[in-house]
Chains A and B, each alone.
Chain A
Amino acid sequence: MEATIFRREDGSRKLNPQLFALWVGMASMIMLFGAFTSAYIVKQGAGNWLQFPMPWVFFVSTAVIVVSSITLHMAYNAFKTQQWSRYKALVLTSTFLGIAFMVLQYEGWLDLYASGVDLRANVGGSFFYLITGAHAAHVLGGITVLAITCLLAFTLPLKYAESRRNKIEMVLHFWHFLGGLWIYLFVFLNVIR
């Protein structure tokens, strides 16, 4: 959908409205996870709470999503400077790192389950699966747009266009958001147990 039919007469716009809309959407996601973590704190304060260490796999997945954010940012810079082969390689790497993150999250859940923390036994465990699962659901959305970006990088003729830069910028912001959100959740789940 061409949301940019509303371009100003002098061509200037302070902000791409689509990017702004994405930010507004991310604000609502922050509220969702804010609600989850607040409920976590309230419930934990009420007692009957199982303490368990976070499986080490989640430390690896954290590193992976951080690296993927960096590679995607480099890809964006490569697009801006029109280094096409570098751009393609970096977008592809980021997509694979994103998928690797999901695989690692899944491994983490399996580890946790194997250690005796299941979804039902205690609310502490339920919250862990709920929060990390809700994050993973959002990452799936992120991987989808990353995969599309990747596909377009390899199929569309590579040339610089402002509209295309806007779209890649949106993917980049969303992916950074997902990474930042994970770091928040990772620290939160480690500190407040």
Chain B
Amino acid sequence: MAEVGVKTREEILIEEQGFNDHFHDHHHGDKYKSGFLNHYVFSMDHKVIARQFLITGIVWAVIGAAMSIVFRLQLGFPEESLAWLKPILGKWIVVDAEGVGKLAPEFYYALVTMHGTIIVFFVLTAGLSGTFSNLLIPLQIGARDMASPFLNMLSYWFFFLAGVVMFYSLFLSTGPFSGGWVAYPPLSALPQASSGSGTGMTLWLVSLTLFVVSVLLGGINYITTILNLRTKGMSMWRLPLPIWAFFVTAILGLLSFPVLASGFFMLIFDRSLGTSFYLSDIFIGGQALDRVGGSPILFQHLFWFLGHPEVYIIILPAMGIVSEVLSVHSRKPIFGYRAMVYSIMAIGFLSFIVWAHHMFMAGVNPFISNFFVVFTLIIAVPSAVKVFNWITTLYGGSIRLNSASLFAIGFVSMFISGGLTGIFLGNSAIDIQMHDTYFVVAHFHIVMGVAAFFGMFAGVYHWFPKMYQRYMNETLGKIHFWGTMILAYAIFWPMHYLGMAGVPRRYYSFDTFDAFKHFAEMNKFITIAAILSFVIQLLFIVNFFYSIWKGKKVTKKNPYDANTLEWTTPIEPLHGNWPGNIPAVNRWAYDYNKDEREFVPQYEPLKEGEVGDH
């Protein structure tokens, strides 16, 4: 810490070498903080918007996870009475004459559907990429704010509105949509198909259309900011890896969400205007519909053209965060920086040409399936490159085992476990046995659910000091990590066995299936693990909110001795991030333990004869 009046080397360097964009010249009062409403609600400051995304994401995560506990209770303890849930779930718990309460089957499906929709879109897309893209892009590339703070604010509020509509749909008397998060027609296209297909589905569509708008506005901003507002010297090859990840994520979102929107528009036409884009030869309630000529497979193509890039929209930001956290906390340069960037690009590109691997069993031509099998398996190559690089980054490092780095290491473990089962499922032949079983559930939960959450946790623990000027509690963080690590495997590992034995996903109960009866104990085990895991997450939430107000205060600008620019801003950065000049950049972000210095920040000029970058 510098004493008052004495400038640190960092301040001198930024003053001498940084550039003056005259940001502070026209600053007649801080117009961004003129009142409570503008500061905390309709804020245009990227740091506030990031925290808005994060806290909204946390709220949705609690709702989505609580839903999973309810349907896990049904799966693990189908004989037990759920009458105690009646005060919360009301008529969806049907209590019989003996006082035994059962979860209404249609609500079970609604819970499964909402759990998927909420976690995929609201938590792991908005909560993860929205939070960290907003927080880190301007701070790490050296910009005062996003290219358009106004669009940025709109992006959050469209997301918020999407959330309000979805939340409202949970309380409909007919229940929220219940046809699965993929919303395949005809269940989603015919209001009479199920109780949730009426108003529930209408609100689902409205909510997700608003969400698409939010993603597009955010994505336009992220891409423009990264390409146009980098500070002096910050070439693309000097960008920290999270920024590369957010950049490719934003491109994926921008190119794939409009395709989902096109599918939604046709679905809305089918539902409201009587067209037959997705409908043909349907009997419902014993009556033949007069809607002919459409194809439900068409929707699946449009959905998965988003749906597959979507899983990379979820995992790439986590990968970027993990790369940064691992490098900082193992005090070593990230191994294979360029390979990391090229793998992100390769994964991004391949994600667009593998969507039909979600549809192998939906009646697509098996010869076309071959094409998708090959490209799906090729994704293993850049993924393996990344895993190799993370492990070699850790190898020989002086690793600080704190909550952030533990979660980053846990991410690598989860990504390996879940990625390997992806190779099984990517084969269209093996998929004949595995499709729609718990094997699929186990695969995607580990590789893009748990792994992405681990990336998010790593990011929250790591950047909490930048967001709230306080630290989170390390002991609670470590308990949170070990609990989550063990319990997540306890939940999803056994599911692989269920899946291999053919236990189908999405079933309400297995009572009537002799073949699956002996899995009752295993289902009990999974449910207990899920409940414990939920409790452990509450520990995180307590830690998070407690630390916002009562955590240990940050007293150093750069608490981790990290190289990136966000740690050159004041402990509590005001609007515009840097009080004076914007620092100029002279090197990449990963000069750790170079030339006998433990870390060399990006603003440090190259020494004479020093070879820069990587």
Contacts and interface: CB of A to CB of B under 8 A. Distances in A.
Interface of A: 1, 3, 5-9, 13-15, 17-18, 20-21, 24-25, 27-29, 31-32, 34-36, 39, 42-43, 46, 48-49, 119-120, 122-123, 126-127, 130, 134
Closest 8 CB pairs of A and B: A35-B262, A1-B150, A32-B258, A35-B259, A31-B258, A9-B19, A17-B228, A126-B275
13 contacts: A1-B149, A14-B228, A21-B147, A21-B224, A31-B255, A36-B262, A43-B295, A43-B298, A48-B280, A120-B275, A123-B275, A123-B293, A126-B275
A21 B148 contact: yes
Interface string B246-259: 00000000111111
A35 B276 CA distance: 17
Contact of B216 (A14, A17, A28, A122): A28
B36 to A, nearest CB: 21
A46 to B, nearest CB: 6
B215 to A, nearest CB: 10
Contacts of B298: 39, 42-43
B228 A35 contact: no
Given A119-B273, A123-B275, A42 B301 contact: yes
A138 B269 CA distance: 18
A27 B232 CA distance: 28
Interface stretch (B20-28, B64-72, B123-131): B20-28
B224 A35 contact: no
Given A39-B266, A39-B298, A24 B148 contact: no
Given A39-B262, A48-B293, A31 B228 contact: no
B293 A122 contact: yes
Interface string B133-162: 000000000011101111100000000000
Interface in B192-214: none
Interface string B287-325: 000001111001001100100000000000000000000
Contacts of A120: 273-276
Most B-side CB within 10 Å, residue of A9, A20, A28, A119:
A28
Given A28-B258, A35-B258, 9 more contacts: A1-B149, A5-B23, A8-B21, A20-B227, A24-B220, A42-B295, A48-B292, A120-B273, A126-B269
Contact of B224 (A20, A48, A134): A20
A114 to B, nearest CB: 19
Contacts of A134: 265
Contacts of B269: 119, 126, 130
A43 B258 contact: no
A9 B22 CA distance: 8
Contacts of B273: 119-120
B229 interface: yes
Secondary structure of the B contact surface, majority rule: helix
Contacts of A13: 228
B223 interface: yes
A17 B19 contact: no
A28 to B, nearest CB: 5
Contact of A29 (B149, B258, B265, B305): B258
A102 to B, nearest CB: 19
Contacts of A126: 269, 275-277
B23 to A, nearest CB: 6
Contact of A6 (B20, B229, B255): B229
B255 A27 contact: yes
B221 interface: yes
A1 B302 contact: no
Given A27-B255, A42-B298, A123-B275, A32 B228 contact: no
B510 to A, nearest CB: 37
Given A24-B224, A130-B266, A35 B302 contact: yes
A1 B146 CA distance: 12
A7 B22 contact: yes
A31 B259 contact: yes
A36 B275 CA distance: 15
B14 interface: no
Contacts of B585: none
Contacts of A42: 295, 298, 301
Contacts of A8: 19, 21, 232
B528 interface: no
A9 to B, nearest CB: 4
Contacts of B149: 1, 3
Contacts of B292: 48
A104 B351 CA distance: 41
Contacts of B261: 32, 35
A29 B274 CA distance: 26
A25 B269 CA distance: 24
A125 to B, nearest CB: 9
Contacts of A48: 280, 292-293
B66 to A, nearest CB: 34
Most B-side CB within 10 Å, residue of A3, A29, A49:
A3
Most A-side CB within 10 Å, residue of B143, B232, B265:
B265
Contacts of B22: 7
Nearest to A30: B258
A38 to B, nearest CB: 8
A9 B277 CA distance: 54
Contacts of B224: 17, 20-21, 24
Interface in B263-283: 263, 265-266, 269, 273-277, 280
Contacts of A14: 228
A175 B151 CA distance: 21
